[in-house]
Amino acid sequence: MKERFIEISPDADEKQEERFNIWRSGEGIPFVDNDTKAAYQERVTLIKDAIQLKKKPSRIPVCPSPSCFPIQNSKITMYEAMYNYEALTKVIEEYQDEFMTDVYNGPASLVSGKMLDILDFKLFAWAGHGVAKEQEYQFVEDEYMKAEEYQDLIDDPTAFFQNSYFPRIFGALTGLQKYPVLPIVHEILCVPPAVIPFSDEDMKSALQALMKAGDEALRFRTAVGKLSRNIMGKKGIPAFGGGFTKAPFDTIGDSLRGTKGVMLDIFRCPDELKEACERLTPIMVKAGVNACRASGHLMPLIPLHKGADGFLSDEQFQTFYWPTLRKLIIGLINEGMVPHLFAEGSYNQRLDIISDLPKGKALWLFDRTDMVKAKETVGRVACISGNFPIDLLITGTPDEVRAHCKQLIESVGKNGGYIFATGAGMSGAKAANVKAMIEAAKEYGASNT
229 closest CA partner among 386, 28, 430, 444:
28
235 closest CA partner among 35, 58, 22:
35
Q: CB under 8 Å to 435, separation ≥6 — which residues? A: 98, 99, 398
The count of C-alpha atoms lying within 13 angstroms of the C-alpha of 128, restricted to the half-sphere facing its C-beta, is 13
3-state helix, strand, coil in the chain (%, to 5): 55, 10, 35
Mean pLDDT for 149-161 is: 97
Q: CB under 8 Å to 351, separation ≥6 — which residues? A: 369, 373, 374, 377, 378
Cβ atoms of 45 and 421 closer than 8 Å: no
Mean pLDDT for 214-219 is: 98
Helices H, strands E: what count in the chain? 21, 9
**Res. 2 pLDDT band, cuts 50 70 90:** confident
Q: Identity (one letter) of the amino acid at 26?
A: G
In whole numbers, what is the pLDDT of the chain averaged over residues? 96
5 closest CA partner among 288, 374, 373:
288
DSSP structural state of residue 318: I
Q: Is 310 exposed, middle or buried (0-12, 13-18, 19+ CB in 10 A)?
A: exposed
Q: Is 148 exposed, middle or buried (0-12, 13-18, 19+ CB in 10 A)?
A: exposed
Q: Is the model's pLDDT at 374 over the cut of 80?
A: yes
Mean pLDDT for 353-362 is: 98
**pLDDT tens digit sequence for 258-283:** 999 999 999 999 999 999 999 999 99
Distance of CA 224 to the CA centre of its chain: 17
Mean pLDDT for 355-359 is: 98
Element (H, E) at 399: helix 398-412
Residue 447: the pLDDT is 80
Q: Is the pTM for the entire model greater than 0.95?
A: yes
What CA–CA distances, in Å, run from 163 to 2, 18, 260, 262?
30, 39, 24, 22
All domains of the chain in start order, with CATH: 12-143+213-447 (3.20.20.210)
Q: Are strands 340-343 and 383-386 parallel, antiparallel or unpaired?
A: unpaired
Q: How many residues are listed for the chain in this entry?
A: 449
**Res. 241 pLDDT band, cuts 50 70 90:** confident
Residue 449: the pLDDT is 60
**pLDDT tens digit sequence for 400-447:** 999 999 999 999 999 999 999 999 999 999 999 999 999 999 999 998
Q: CB under 8 Å to 405, separation ≥6 — which residues? A: 388, 420, 436, 437, 440, 441, 444
Residue 448: the pLDDT is 65
**pLDDT tens digit sequence for 38-84:** 999 999 999 999 999 999 999 999 999 999 999 999 999 999 999 99
- Find the distance separating the first CA and the last CA of the chain, reported in whole Å: 47
DSSP states of 345-385 = S--TTTHHHHT-S-TTS-EEEESSS-HHHHHHTGGGTSEEE
Residue 1: the pLDDT is 62
